[in-house]
Amino acid sequence: MKKIEFNRFLEKYLEGNMQNAEKKWFEAELEGNPGLKKELELRRKINSHLENQDAIAFRQILMKAEARHRKAADKRKVAAKQLVQYAAVFAGLILIASIGLYSLINNADVNIAEKYTPEYVPLSVTRSSSTSIDEAYTRATEYYNAGDYTEAIEWFNMIVDSDMQVEFMKGSSHMKISQYEEAIGSFSKVVDDNDNLFIEDARFYLAVCYLQTGEEDISKKLLADIINSENRHKKEARKLLRKID
């Protein structure tokens, strides 16, 4: 039986539209077909997750509309004070930049990960013959691009047999929200795979994450290896290593 036919039966089964005989046959098919059973469980997870999305999306629309309205009102109120505000902000930026040049890595006010954070645009491609897995990937990248990294991680975790792009994006998402231990797990998988397009980036961000978790020796070794290689982050690695030595 072709995949498209199974898709049709999956939808009928999930919607509760099967007759008794058809349902009995399909459940027997599930027991003998691990791939079909895995597809069904993934669709159930996605359907359950989607039930909450409409309400969340509508609430976000209202919040954005309110924010735009409030921003417009604020602009009218503070128009006369803008020059003073710009001067104050500029002076503050100069002070912050000066402090940043001389602060040590252990200074609590300095977060290295804020400076060295992944900036990656995921590829929008069909990854699997499974429509559910492909939908999970699409949803994950949409949230990733929107900056909702917590939600993106949930969708990435729904992808069965994830590839190295997914692992790299999971690591990036964890890093963006300061979950450095989790980021280390994903970046390590990318580096250990040793046959993908994300190794150079993953190795550098792995060093940054180890630095953030206090494992300075591991970070220094990774940075030194990057400096002595053709890694495109070698200049950043040299600056960071100089800063923490």
Asked if 10 and 29 count as a contact pair (C-beta separation under 8 A), the reply is: no
Which residues make Cβ contacts (< 8 Å) with residue 223, sequence separation at least 6?
A: 207, 237, 238, 240, 241
CB atoms within 10 A of CB 155: 25
Sign of the torsion angle spanned by Cα atoms 26, 30, 32, 35: positive
Give me the tens of pLDDT residue by residue for the chain, a chain 245 residues long. 444 467 777 777 888 888 888 888 888 888 888 888 888 888 777 776 666 555 555 555 655 655 565 555 555 555 545 554 545 554 554 444 443 433 434 443 345 666 776 766 665 544 445 566 778 888 998 999 999 999 999 999 988 777 899 999 999 999 999 999 999 999 999 999 999 999 999 999 999 999 999 999 999 999 999 999 999 999 999 999 998 87
* CA dist., res. 89 & res. 84, Å (int): 9
- Nearest-5° angle of CA 239, CA 244, CA 245? 100
Q: What is the pLDDT of residue 206?
A: 96
Q: What are the residue ranges spanned by the domains of the chain? A: 1-72, 113-244
Q: CATH for 113-244? A: 1.25.40.10
* CA dist., res. 187 & res. 90, Å (int): 37
Q: What is the pTM of this model?
A: 0.58
User: What distances in angstroms separate CA 195 from CA 121, 202, 233, one per listed residue?
Assistant: 20, 12, 18
Asked if 152 and 143 count as a contact pair (C-beta separation under 8 A), the reply is: yes
Sign of the torsion angle spanned by Cα atoms 154, 159, 161, 164: negative
Which residues make Cβ contacts (< 8 Å) with residue 11, sequence separation at least 6?
A: none
Residue with the two structure tokens 């993934």 = 42
Q: What is the pLDDT of residue 185?
A: 96
- Strand, helix or coil for residue 100: helix
